[in-house]
Structure 1
Amino acid sequence: MGPVVTPPAPITPDALKSWIDRLPARAQAYLRLARLDRPAGTWLLLWPCLAGLALAGGLRSAPLLALWFALGSLAMRSAGCVWNDIVDRDLDRQVARTRARPVASGQISVKAALAFAVALSLIGLIVLLQLRPLAQIIALASLIPVAIYPFMKRITWWPQAWLGLTFNWGALVGWAAVAEPELPMLLLWAGGIAWTLGYDTIYALQDIEDDALVGIKSSARALGPRARAGVAGFYAAAIGLWAAALWLAAGQALAVIALLPAALHLGWQVLRLADISPAAAWMLFRSNRAAGALWLAACAAVGLA
């Protein structure tokens, strides 16, 4: 009988090779801390900003704001990741997917990480100053729920709902940057929260076993074997709320047809969720970059009409 061979540990998304690996080790640590090797989160933060801007007619009246929102999404998503890693450093050490993160592994000190977060936030401040006062106030109001988010997984089984509230705040800011608040703005935001509940439940499926051992709460754990049905319900709510926003903004029911590609894409995700392996969950989560682009396309079609 031959020697017992231990299979290699599965490669997790946080350990995947990227362009960052060609850089000096110190630079790698900071860029990984900012998640610049994993841009999916930046896209997911940007799409709501652009959707709000587009549906309010801003792509025609203030197209340069789209570039400012792109810069702001990159900087503030990175700052949020840094803050999250500082707060979660002890939990991250206990989860296979996250134990190699720079703060958890000791590559970057908490003090240095905080300084980095401040520097990134200053970039966000530059973007904030490009907005009109109402949008500035709404954007600043997001800082409190963003700061609280990392603690929610210790408090509630539904931290994904809080993430949705914060990650889609840009829909409010994007709209308010060019127009006065109206019901379609709130419906866009609410639909975004439902969308995030869906895609972040998929994301949480990657860690469901480790989370149970460590005591981290998530919608994936709360739903258990009903996770697929839950995601389907969240996505259906997102499409329904977005459809209502487009209908009211356009003043005609036919506007909801613009959401058909996004609805089909989200439906495809639910069908593929029959496989809930970590690799499949990661792939489906990342596909929401495309779902967000289709949502934006629908809002742009109505806003430019």
Structure 2
Amino acid sequence: MEPEIVPDTQYRGLVGILPAYPRALALLARFDRPIGWQLLFWPGAWGVALAKGAVERWDLILWLALGSIAMRGAGCVYNDIVDRGLDRQVARTRNRPLASGAVSVKAAWLWLAVLCLVGLVVLLQLHLYAQIVALISLAPVAAYPFMKRITWWPQAWLGIVFSWAALVGWSEATGSLMMPGPLLYAGSICWVIGYDTIYALQDVEDDALVGVRSSARVLGSRVRPGVAIFYAIALALWGAAFWQLRPDWLVLVALLPAAVHFAWQVATLAPADGANALHRFRSNRYAGLLIFLACIVVGQTSF
């Protein structure tokens, strides 16, 4: 079967001009939806910026960007290999390359290996300590596709996985995992739970039919206050991380733009409207940028 470009693609034209099979591989790695690698990238950039490395370690930030693209793609391929049976039962995912038969499982494993080789190149740019920190993430990454089968909060596990770059960036820039790096990481986990709960709103009905669990289903009619709570905890943890570097109330002002953005997301979220939820979810690329700018300000002005 020729792969279809899913409704929430952002590069319909670019992916659409590829021949059928390369297009299927691009879709399998979600290259048509850059929001995924952007959300994976931002915590790593925060870690570098908060460690005063936004200018001096600009090369590290670029390497983290490349690693985010490759490893997000690899994660998506692995996730689709595991979930191909479930994907066939969900309207939004039944046309994914593996679920539709556009790509074989064997070819998917080969494509996964290629993407992991790119990730290995990035890994070799890091010092040994940061390499070890990065490699530890492989265990939670491998477990993630199974979480939706055994817990109502797979978004929390995704937060553990998608925030790991904060620990990598911080440890590479500082040579340790001392505070405030772990606080930055913990805040990112809560941020991920918030935005992925919004994303999961698109699949609530299908997930209920096939038995897939999610925080969106658990929260139900309380999804807006639930997301607000996770965003508030994220801001509090990031504020604590900033305070560790510079105990001055002024540093908390750096988080104000992100706080306003999160308030807008929650206030305008329409849980029953999939398009609305998708737009609010995607807007977190700008939230990531706002936190990055805050980390630059605090990192560069800390004592």
* Residue 131 (structure 1) shift: 0.6
How far apart, CA to CA, are the structure 1 residues paired with 2:44 and 2:21? 32
SS of residue in 1 equivalent to 2:99: coil
Q: How does 1:19-98 map to 2 (within 5 A)?
A: 19-98=14-93
1:116 maps to 2:116: no
Structure 1: give runs of 5+ residues left out of the alignment.
1-10
Is the Cα–Cα contact under 8 Å of residues 201 and 220 in structure 1 kept in the other structure? yes
41 and 92 in structure 1: CA distance in 2 versus 1, 3 angstrom threshold: same
Q: TM-score, with normalisation over the residues of structure 2?
A: 0.95
2:140 to 136, 145, 150: 145
1:131 maps to 2:126: yes
1:304 maps to 2:297: no
**Percent identical across equivalent pairs?**
58
15 and 110 in structure 1: CA distance in 2 versus 1, 3 angstrom threshold: farther
SS of residue in 2 equivalent to 1:59: coil
Is the Cα–Cα contact under 8 Å of residues 10 and 33 in structure 2 kept in the other structure? no
1:211 maps to 2:207: yes
How far apart, CA to CA, are the structure 1 residues paired with 2:300 and 2:69? 26
Aligned length: 295
How far apart, CA to CA, are the structure 1 residues paired with 2:255 and 2:89? 41
Specify the alignment match of 1:107 in structure 2: 102
SS of residue in 2 equivalent to 1:178: helix
Is the Cα–Cα contact under 8 Å of residues 14 and 97 in structure 1 kept in the other structure? no
SS of residue in 2 equivalent to 1:13: coil
Is the Cα–Cα contact under 8 Å of residues 247 and 254 in structure 1 kept in the other structure? no
- Which AA in structure 2 matches 1:268? W
* Residue 281 (structure 1) shift: 0.6
Is the Cα–Cα contact under 8 Å of residues 72 and 124 in structure 1 kept in the other structure? yes
Is the Cα–Cα contact under 8 Å of residues 10 and 32 in structure 2 kept in the other structure? no
Moved over 4 A (4+): none
1:166 to 161, 184, 190: 161
* Residue 256 (structure 1) shift: 1.2
SS of residue in 1 equivalent to 2:173: coil
18 and 156 in structure 1: CA distance in 2 versus 1, 3 angstrom threshold: farther
SS of residue in 1 equivalent to 2:231: helix
Specify the alignment match of 2:264 in structure 1: 268
Structure 2: give runs of 5+ residues left out of the alignment.
1-5
**CA offset digits 1:134-163 (Å, max 9, x no partner):** 110000000010010000000000000000
Higher mean C-alpha deviation, range 242-251 or range 22-31:
242-251
How far apart, CA to CA, are the structure 1 residues paired with 2:58 and 2:120? 20
